[in-house]
Chains A and B, each alone.
Chain A
Amino acid sequence: MQIAIRLFARLRDIAGAADLVRDVPEGATVETAWQALAIEFPAMAPHRAALSVAVNAEYARFTRGLAERDEVVFLPPVSGG
């Protein structure tokens, strides 16, 4: 199934893109999507510990199961204000 991945800040710079569409297997979780992304962009891998995630514009966990066309966003440590 296809999911959309949106990237911000450091992760966007690493990927060289803000939006990606990727195939993930049925039963995939956010973690599955992250693992594939970290293989595609190895420079992202060290950032895993400090990331949080959102699915469809709601805060989520890496254990969250994904559905077709979900929008997954990996959030680097924030610095608003």
Chain B
Amino acid sequence: MRPTLLSITRDELDLAALVRLVTEHSDEPPGRHGAVVTFLGTVRGENLGRRVLELEYQAYEPLAVRAFEIIAAEAAEAWPAALLALHHRIGTLRPGDVSVAMAVASPHRAEAFKACRYAIERVKQIAPIWKREIFEGGEAWIEGATADPSDSVARRAARERACR
């Protein structure tokens, strides 16, 4: 089966596959893009002064994919020429493991960088994904943003981080 641009998986992430997805996408003629920007989120072995042993990721998968679709649509609205692939891993990950991988292709580098930064900011704001940190001496759910895609303040903040 052809891998999809947007997905949640328990498998190891494959950045090269994401690059192929955006550069060989069926809707795009070859050579249309002049830039591919990639991003990997990796598990940091230290957080808030504690030694991280594992991160346990959960996702509400159908809504997480829906969130990625919303993010891709928002990015396409702002940077119409940019094409986004976004895969997020769930399950138990250890320091150094890749938890999220993205590739953004576009005719020119500026919009690829912006769309990539925007997308990861929005993932952190709205995607229904949670991580429990198992650290030396304890464990804790990490809690960030209240997931609300219609929160225009959050959306504007993501846009500003992408464009500064």
User: Are B58 and A9 within 8 A (Cβ)?
Assistant: yes
- Contact of B99 with A81 in the complex, beta carbons under 8 Å: yes
Chain A 12-51 residues near chain B, CB threshold 8 A? 12-13, 50-51
Interface residues on A, range: 20 to 34
Q: Contact: B147 with A58, CB < 8 Å?
A: no
Residues of chain A touching chain B, judged by Cβ–Cβ distance below 8 Å, are: 6, 8-10, 12-13, 50-52, 54, 57-59, 73, 75-81
Main SS of chain B's interface residues?
mixed
Tell me, in angstroms, the Cα distance from A32 to B19 when the chains sit together. 46
Q: Quote the shortest CB–CB distance from A41 to chain B (angstroms).
A: 16
Residues of B within 8 A of A81 (CB): 41, 99-100, 120, 123-124, 129
Instruction: Give every chain B residue within 8 A of A78 (Cβ-Cβ).
Output: 124-130, 143-147
Known: A8-B130, A9-B130, A54-B128. A77 touches B60 (CB 8 A): no
- With beta carbons under 8 angstroms apart, the residue of A10, A12, A77 that contacts B147 is A77
Interface residues of chain A: helix, strand, loop or mixed (majority): mixed
Point out the residue from B66, B141, B146 that lies within 8 Å of A10, measured CB to CB. Answer: B141
- Assuming the contacts A9-B130, A9-B132, A52-B148, asked whether A76 and B143 have C-beta atoms less than 8 A apart, the reply is yes
Q: In the complex the two chains form, is A59's CB within 8 Å of B63's CB?
A: yes
Q: How far is the CA of A76 from the CA of B127 in the complex (A)?
A: 11
Report B51-93 residues with CB < 8 Å from chain A CB: 57-60, 62-64, 66, 88
Nearest-neighbor residue (CB-CB) of B8 within chain A: A80
Q: Are B100 and A8 in contact (CB under 8 A)?
A: no
Interface size class on chain B is: 20 to 34
Q: Tell me whether A79 and B131 are in contact in the complex, defined as CB-CB below 8 angstroms, given that A54-B60, A57-B62 are known contacts.
A: yes
Q: Does B34 contact A (CB under 8 A)?
A: no
Q: Could you name 27 residue pairs across A and B whose Cβ atoms are closer than 8 Å? A: A8-B60, A8-B130, A50-B143, A50-B146, A52-B147, A52-B148, A57-B66, A59-B66, A59-B147, A59-B148, A59-B149, A59-B150, A76-B130, A78-B125, A79-B131, A79-B142, A79-B143, A80-B57, A80-B64, A80-B88, A80-B127, A80-B128, A80-B129, A80-B131, A81-B41, A81-B99, A81-B123
Q: Which of B83-126 contact A (CB under 8 A)?
A: 88, 99-100, 120, 123-126
